[in-house]
Amino acid sequence: MATDVHRAVSPDRAGQEEPAAVRVQGLSRTFDGRRVVDGLELTVRSGEFVALLGRSGCGKSTLLKILTGLDREIEGAVLVPRRKATAFQAPRLMPWKKVWRNVLLGLPGKPERAVAERALAEVGLDHRVDAWPKTLSGGEAQRASLARALVREPDLLLLDEPFGALDALTRIKAQRLVGELWQQRGCAVLLVTHDVEEAVLLADRVLVMDDGVIAHETEIDLPRPRDIADPGFAELRTHLLDHLGVEAPTPAPAPAHAHASASASA
């Protein structure tokens, strides 16, 4: 188990290669004899936005858990930056702490409330600083969770289907917010999702995970901000859906239907 989850990957240590935010080599994770992750290789460049797609049970959540450092029963080498943060599908705010205390939870030293206020302002939640988590709407809670991740000034931001539980309108806003924050911060992002459109909309590179390995990858070189109506967008979506085992509908799809099938839950 040659694993060092906490060693920072700096450009000089990585040697001749370009600076990386994640470097995974020969990673395997076994649950009761079943290899969920099986010799996986993955590199995320520093500042890169990578989306990880895959069907349910393909091991993508396990991979994210390993990168977060929550699962250490692994074989292989995993290098991630010390400063990393995770936003989960559920906001996972501590219900007994007010929003700003949630944001500061786990930060070293005794950070001031102003630090939390700044982070909350960044996600547009500066008016709910003193609220109890139970009073937040789904979108607000997810933004608070995002602020809690960003306040750590991560070199790597891990997002585990963070928009999965949001309604369609809130999801669009949240996706935009993440895109903007990524451009401002310049940190590397690994977004685990099962929404192909979301992946194409946000990522520099889309990976498809299958049978415990990265089975396919596609560079997305569409100009930002991206438009779902772009023909290049539709092409990439069809291409990726193909790799996920979802065939494109045969008749010319009406836009509403195309959307529904693109977000076919994995």
Partner 1 sequence: MSISHAPPPNEIADIGGTSPSTAPPQPLPAPLLEPLPSTSTTRHRARVPRWLRRLSGPLLLLLAWQLASASGVLTADVLASPGTIARVGRDLIADGSLTSAMGVSLQRVALGVLLGAVVGTVLALLSGLFRAGEDLVDASVQMLRTVPFVGLIPLFIIWFGIGEAPKVAIITLGVTFPLYLNVYAGIRGVDAQLIEAGQSLGLSRWGLVRHVVLPGALPGAMTGLRFSLGVAWLALVFAEQVNADSGIGFLMVQARDFLRTDVIVVCLIVYAFLGLFADFVVRTLERLLLQWRPTFTGQ
Q: Which residues bind partner 1 (CB under 8 A)?
A: 68-70, 85-86, 88, 90, 92, 94-97, 105-108, 132-134, 148, 152, 168, 257, 260, 263
Nearest to partner 1 of 69, 164 (CB atom): 69
Q: Please report how close the Cβ of residue 211 comes to partner 1 at its closest, in angstroms.
A: 26
Nearer to partner 1, 71 or 217 (CB): 71
Shortest Å distance, C-beta 130 to partner 1 = 12
Q: Tell the smallest beta-carbon distance from residue 15 to partner 1 (Å).
A: 28
Q: Which is nearer to partner 1, 220 or 266 (CB)?
A: 266
- The first and second tokens of residue 72, run together, are 């250490």
Task: Find the largest Cα–Cα distance for the chain.
Answer: 60
| Alpha-carbon gap, residue 40 to 63, rounded angstroms | 9
CB of 148 to partner 1, least distance (A): 7
Using the minimum distance from each CB to partner 1, give the nearer residue, 98 or 216. Answer: 98
Cα dihedral value 193, 199, 204, 205, nearest 10? 60
Minimum CB distance to partner 1 smaller for 151 or for 208: 151
Q: Distance between CA 73 and CA 215 in Å, rounded? A: 23
Name residues whose C-beta falls within 8 Å of residue 239's C-beta, 6 or more positions apart in sequence.
218
Name the H helices within the chain.
60-68, 99-104, 113-122, 138-150, 168-185, 196-202, 231-243, 255-262
**Nearer CB in complex with partner 1: 102/175:** 102
CB of 132 to partner 1, least distance (A): 5
The neighbour count for residue 157, using CB atoms within 10 Å, is 26
Rounded Cα distance between 128 and 120, Å, is 8
Q: How far is the CB of 57 from partner 1 (least distance, A)?
A: 19
